[in-house]
A and B are shown apart, each in its own frame.
Chain A
């Protein structure tokens, strides 16, 4: 029996491989190992914001065509057998109309496929763009179809960020090496190309900025943006809110002081949730209700992320406006807030030529100014982009970064950015080359902290605080015991000590099993327990139970393995 089963099973294995091979061989395009390809797919048009008419999914890599042919069915070859395994032989830079279907054959979207074959493409690899309907759902389904067909999502998870940080750090170190080599061996080396250095530094700055903006974007996505509209009475604040939110949220009349309370409206700017706060016109008033409204307005303005100050084009810049601006600035100063100010000049339909001279040049308190006419929604678009720019979300929405950064990473990025800015000013100030290295090293140091190439005290203590939770309560407990020994040593009854120990163990997250065991013990047993209590065994058992949920950097896992062998 055995001799027969063995060959048959091995032959079965073989045939399995062979059928696969045969199938692949029958199709020369498919013969490429699609599964292992480094072909990436991504939605390259903006996602999450206002939907465009067209959205694009781009495939790039050696198997871009193969993957595209699995999902894309050109209409002109309708007579051929479809099902995604069509032998699509695209002509480079020729647009083809067709449909994308998922692996089950369901049509997902009608698309235009634009093949750009290597090397005439952005990436110098084969690129296929699928131009779909500009709807998030469509785009994501097309992307999913591509991924199912063997593409890899561009910049998956944190990978993109760590790659960016690593490349930035590498650039820093390359520049450092270059400069330092010149300090020592100037005669023997080609002359240093300062322009190249400056360019590299500029592009590094841009990358860091972008990464920081991504961080900012993440924060905004979570917390949203509060925009307060303030101004004198009757300049059209409520109209702006209505026009912007495309609603009749606020009551608009000709009467000054119509808005008495803060009116909220929620909108989305480039995918970021924005809360608009319409406030009562700020003025000296004796009306009790309006007075409260004014106070509230000021409070709201102080808490907002962006303050829009509305003025009327009809009246121009009045002394009351100056007063109001001063008030805002004083308030900001005392509260230490630095929310950017945007000037909105409303009612431009009534006074088309308004002098803007005042808001140009130095000392202009406003980050941006926008001309609007709220009644016909003119300028609302511009206002939106101004807000987006100020909040730092203008670039992100267009890009496709798919990662988030945490507080620690953000701090180090800021440190990197500051170092690079100082570096730029050193270059501008004509400081000798040697000084460039100081800030480059600083930048490399900061980036190293993110990528884990420099081990800082902080990282290490993080490792311990995050993964050795069991340790801490125990040490606390011992501290209390220490206190006992110091204060009254033998005078303390052992019973008290046990109580302390018990409460200590109960207080902290020791694990149910241990707790039960603990509570069931009598005093002698407890003494025994205390003496034989191995904090590391507990620590590791607790941490082991926590581990699957927590991220596991390599050292930590090693740490525990070393524990269990020792404990």
Chain B
């Protein structure tokens, strides 16, 4: 497998550290052979019934040949109804939309199959985007040229920056969004993207080619759609089942049918599936809530943005959220009825998200806490629905309203939708490589909840990567892998494919070891160059990006050279930082002092008016935390050299007697691509990694020596030949 390494220079955060993004070529020798074999056929002379021919030669590029022209070439039989694409995306949720849009934008003829076109980009749970760690994902998707950030910026009801005082790496933007508007806006984008078709369908089968490669999908009603790349983003729909109390029905979401049959097909193909559970709280009618005694939560006065594109940074009127708390009665009611909940009653075994626990989980797990915060959040500008955040429950419907009414402010509320839990099939993602292509079937990609994640942001992050890679795969290009250290997206995918996760995975800031380098403010300088290289960043956006970076570096230069002596600024800085200010201090050195922000420079007229608020923040962070940033880069460098060492694909772990039994088993199962990944596989100890490294080094040295020996052999042969030739020539002369 040919591997090229593309060094991505992050113009702002680093020039000395290259975050390597490996482009793995998807074309294995087997497909190449296949390709050569098939190329012998001419399309007019022979068309096989199975469409393996089309699947492997469908490397049509933008502008793709219109479907009509293909059909004109051949007879008007039923076979022509087969529809051929470059990429098929199954599912129109947050992963599916990003995948379909990015794939289509890269020039791949893309088909988006969804169960219900009216529910494209639906936010079935909390209509909110961002939050700790998740906001970084959104910024990163935007930096690569994705949609989620722009839509959230366009449809927000309220925005707040969380963790403001906890450092730039954990600062997070969170937006409450208008659920219906969000879906509508995303649908508009999907519908208006060139190269992208939408179709309602329930996919029940994956059509395979001869080489364990994907050729297309078959739907419930018997349609076949063909493409060399298929992205599955089935969300909670695969064999979905919703629960309210003990009552259950087959459904992907309340009121929407589940997708049946695909799980069995995937199992038949040899995939391991498992089951997960998640839930959503009740919705109440805001007209029946008494807000007078509740603590209001207003949005920020200065709004932050997910998208780096100023065209999408349009301020709008904000709505208010409210804070209430659980009471003694809430806790009592739950404790009295624990047996009525699926988890504690014991009739649902699937594991729910630990990090987004139901209210009964919270009360059972945090016995000592006598109250939990509950947020009341609007679901839209024109609907009365309120989302009761932190109050998801598996209790039967008859108990839900009494439970809601134990909350202050909700004493007389009426419930619009009951809380419910949903159980669904997922495919443990160790079956995918870091490109999100499955290891088993070439051309088949998984994204979103099917990989065991939870959250729109996680889904979108996987969606854009699988969309990019699906398009690249259909085009015969190398696949893109984001290294763990490059981004939260990389961290997310690395965790998914290396750790054998058995509960819904939510992105957390603590999951990233080097989060100070992976901030929201530098997501663009980390990933936009890559987005440009891939082809998702257009000229306008690229220009914007370059201008911004130019302004930031010019400003940093200015602050480094401009010196002040005395004056109001110096006095103010001395007071604020309680540190003395020396004469001829540079503005940079002032900014480095504790409690001094760029605002202070602005206040005394030393700021730079050309810079936007975000740009000033970038400058401030770069200067203020320079020491920490360089230190973390050094740490990263220390580990990354070794971590990125690739592991040969054909390693026989079972033959490595020096590894622990558990490590042999786990490594054989996960088959990590690098040493770093191997070290993160559960059950693999540092001693195992040492042993593995030694085996690798031994193998390398052996190979090296073998080469030397061969060379020696050749020398010997040559010299013997030379000697004999000499002898011959001598004898001939004599």
Interface residues of A (CB under 8 A from B): 180-181, 183-185, 187-188, 429-435, 438-439, 441-442, 445, 452-457, 459-460, 463-464, 471, 474-475, 478, 481-482, 485, 489-490, 492-494, 497, 527, 530-531, 533, 535-536, 554-555, 558-559, 561-563, 565-566
Binds A, one of B17-25, B508-516, B548-556: B508-516
Let me know if A494 and B716 touch, CB within 8 A. Answer: yes
Find B686's partner among A445, A454, A474, A475 (CB 8 Å cutoff): A454
Let me know if B165 and A555 touch, CB within 8 A. Answer: no
Closest A-chain residue to B722, C-beta based?
Answer: A490
Residue B701 interfacial (CB < 8 Å) = yes
Residues of A within 8 A of B657 (CB): 558, 561-562, 565
Residue B709 interfacial (CB < 8 Å) = yes
A sample of 22 inter-chain contacts (CB < 8 A) reads A183-B132, A183-B510, A184-B509, A188-B362, A430-B594, A432-B166, A434-B167, A442-B635, A452-B690, A454-B639, A455-B690, A475-B704, A475-B705, A493-B719, A497-B719, A531-B709, A531-B716, A536-B705, A554-B687, A555-B687, A555-B691, A562-B695
Find B658's partner among A184, A452, A559 (CB 8 Å cutoff): A559
Let me know if B686 and A489 touch, CB within 8 A. Answer: no
Residues of B within 8 A of A493 (CB): 719
Task: Sort A-B residue pairs by CB-CB distance and give the 10 closest, nearest first.
Answer: A434-B167, A432-B167, A180-B510, A558-B658, A184-B508, A429-B594, A490-B722, A432-B166, A555-B690, A494-B719
Let me know if A485 and B691 touch, CB within 8 A. Answer: no
C-alpha gap A498/B628 in the complex (Å): 57
Residues of A within 8 A of B716 (CB): 494, 527, 531
Residue B582 interfacial (CB < 8 Å) = no
Let me know if A485 and B715 touch, CB within 8 A. Answer: yes
C-alpha gap A434/B510 in the complex (Å): 10
If the complex has contacts A490-B718, A536-B702, are A184 and B723 also in contact, measured as CB distance less than 8 A? Answer: no
Nearest-neighbour CB distance to chain A for B413, whole angstroms, equals 23
Annotate B127-149 by CB proximity to A: 1 below 8 A, 0 otherwise.
00000110000000000000000
Nearest-neighbour CB distance to chain A for B623, whole angstroms, equals 14
Residues of A within 8 A of B694 (CB): 460, 463, 555, 558-559
If the complex has contacts A490-B718, A531-B713, are A455 and B689 also in contact, measured as CB distance less than 8 A? Answer: yes
Residues of A within 8 A of B366 (CB): 188
Residue B191 interfacial (CB < 8 Å) = no
C-alpha gap A433/B716 in the complex (Å): 67
Let me know if A438 and B697 touch, CB within 8 A. Answer: no
Closest B-chain residue to A557, C-beta based?
Answer: B658
Closest A-chain residue to B705, C-beta based?
Answer: A535
Find B595's partner among A183, A430, A463, A536 (CB 8 Å cutoff): A430
**Could you count the A-B residue pairs with CB atoms below 8 Å apart for me: how many are there?**
139
Let me know if B373 and A187 touch, CB within 8 A. Answer: yes
Annotate B686-712 by CB proximity to A: 1 below 8 A, 0 otherwise.
110111011101100110110011011
Find A460's partner among B132, B163, B369, B693 (CB 8 Å cutoff): B693
Closest B-chain residue to A484, C-beta based?
Answer: B715
Closest B-chain residue to A176, C-beta based?
Answer: B510
Residue B631 interfacial (CB < 8 Å) = yes
Residues of A within 8 A of B372 (CB): 187
If the complex has contacts A485-B715, A531-B713, are A432 and B132 also in contact, measured as CB distance less than 8 A? Answer: no
Closest A-chain residue to B164, C-beta based?
Answer: A432
Let me know if A441 and B723 touch, CB within 8 A. Answer: no
Residues of A within 8 A of B691 (CB): 555, 558
C-alpha gap A414/B550 in the complex (Å): 40
Q: Which of B369, B658, B704 has the most A CB atoms < 10 Å from its CB?
A: B658
Nearest-neighbour CB distance to chain A for B86, whole angstroms, equals 39
A433-B167, A494-B719 given; name 15 further pairs at CB < 8 Å. A184-B510, A430-B595, A442-B631, A445-B635, A452-B690, A460-B697, A489-B718, A527-B716, A531-B712, A531-B716, A536-B705, A555-B691, A558-B694, A559-B658, A562-B657
Residue B668 interfacial (CB < 8 Å) = no
Residues of A within 8 A of B401 (CB): none
C-alpha gap A442/B165 in the complex (Å): 23
C-alpha gap A556/B392 in the complex (Å): 54
Residue B169 interfacial (CB < 8 Å) = yes
Q: Which of B611-653 contact A (CB under 8 A)?
A: 625, 628, 631-632, 635, 638-639, 641-642
C-alpha gap A562/B712 in the complex (Å): 26
Nearest-neighbour CB distance to chain A for B631, whole angstroms, equals 6
Residues of B within 8 A of A441 (CB): 513, 635
Let me know if A562 and B628 touch, CB within 8 A. Answer: no
C-alpha gap A184/B133 in the complex (Å): 9
If the complex has contacts A432-B167, A457-B642, are A438 and B632 also in contact, measured as CB distance less than 8 A? Answer: yes
The binding surface of chain B is classed by DSSP as helix
Residues of B within 8 A of A481 (CB): 712, 715
Find B719's partner among A187, A442, A475, A490 (CB 8 Å cutoff): A490
C-alpha gap A442/B559 in the complex (Å): 30
Nearest-neighbour CB distance to chain B for A183, whole angstroms, equals 5
C-alpha gap A409/B491 in the complex (Å): 31
Let me know if B638 and A183 touch, CB within 8 A. Answer: no
Let me know if A431 and B695 touch, CB within 8 A. Answer: no
Q: Which of B169, B631, B689, B705 has the most A CB atoms < 10 Å from its CB?
A: B705
Let me know if A456 and B715 touch, CB within 8 A. Answer: no
Residue B395 interfacial (CB < 8 Å) = no
Let me know if B167 and A431 touch, CB within 8 A. Answer: yes
Nearest-neighbour CB distance to chain B for A467, whole angstroms, equals 10
Let me know if B642 and A455 touch, CB within 8 A. Answer: yes
Residue B227 interfacial (CB < 8 Å) = no
Residues of B within 8 A of A490 (CB): 718-719, 721-722
Residues of B within 8 A of A439 (CB): 631
Nearest-neighbour CB distance to chain A for B182, whole angstroms, equals 25
Q: Which of A183, A459, A463 has the most B CB atoms < 10 Å from its CB?
A: A183
C-alpha gap A559/B719 in the complex (Å): 37
C-alpha gap A185/B356 in the complex (Å): 10
C-alpha gap A457/B716 in the complex (Å): 37
C-alpha gap A535/B706 in the complex (Å): 10
Let me know if A432 and B165 touch, CB within 8 A. Answer: yes
If the complex has contacts A180-B509, A555-B691, are A464 and B697 also in contact, measured as CB distance less than 8 A? Answer: yes
C-alpha gap A430/B713 in the complex (Å): 68
Annotate B361-376 by CB proximity to A: 1 below 8 A, 0 otherwise.
0100010010011000
C-alpha gap A454/B695 in the complex (Å): 17
Nearest-neighbour CB distance to chain B for A450, whole angstroms, equals 13
C-alpha gap A188/B367 in the complex (Å): 11
C-alpha gap A473/B509 in the complex (Å): 50
Residues of B within 8 A of A531 (CB): 709, 712-713, 716
Residues of B within 8 A of A558 (CB): 657-658, 691, 694
If the complex has contacts A494-B723, A531-B716, are A555 and B510 also in contact, measured as CB distance less than 8 A? Answer: no
Annotate B492-513 by CB proximity to A: 1 below 8 A, 0 otherwise.
0000000000000000111001
C-alpha gap A453/B690 in the complex (Å): 10
C-alpha gap A434/B519 in the complex (Å): 12
Residues of B within 8 A of A453 (CB): 686
Closest B-chain residue to A184, C-beta based?
Answer: B508
Nearest-neighbour CB distance to chain A for B717, whole angstroms, equals 10
C-alpha gap A493/B715 in the complex (Å): 11
Annotate B359-400 by CB proximity to A: 1 below 8 A, 0 otherwise.
000100010010011000000000000000000000000000
C-alpha gap A184/B356 in the complex (Å): 12
Closest A-chain residue to B713, C-beta based?
Answer: A531
Residue B170 interfacial (CB < 8 Å) = yes
Q: Which of B329-355 contact A (CB under 8 A)?
A: 355
Residues of B within 8 A of A452 (CB): 686-687, 690
Residues of B within 8 A of A185 (CB): 355
Q: Which of B170, B595, B718 has the most A CB atoms < 10 Å from its CB?
A: B170
C-alpha gap A457/B658 in the complex (Å): 19
C-alpha gap A25/B676 in the complex (Å): 57
Let me know if A460 and B690 touch, CB within 8 A. Answer: yes
Residues of B within 8 A of A435 (CB): 167, 516, 625, 628
Closest A-chain residue to B165, C-beta based?
Answer: A432
C-alpha gap A60/B602 in the complex (Å): 65
Closest B-chain residue to A455, C-beta based?
Answer: B690
Nearest-neighbour CB distance to chain A for B346, whole angstroms, equals 25
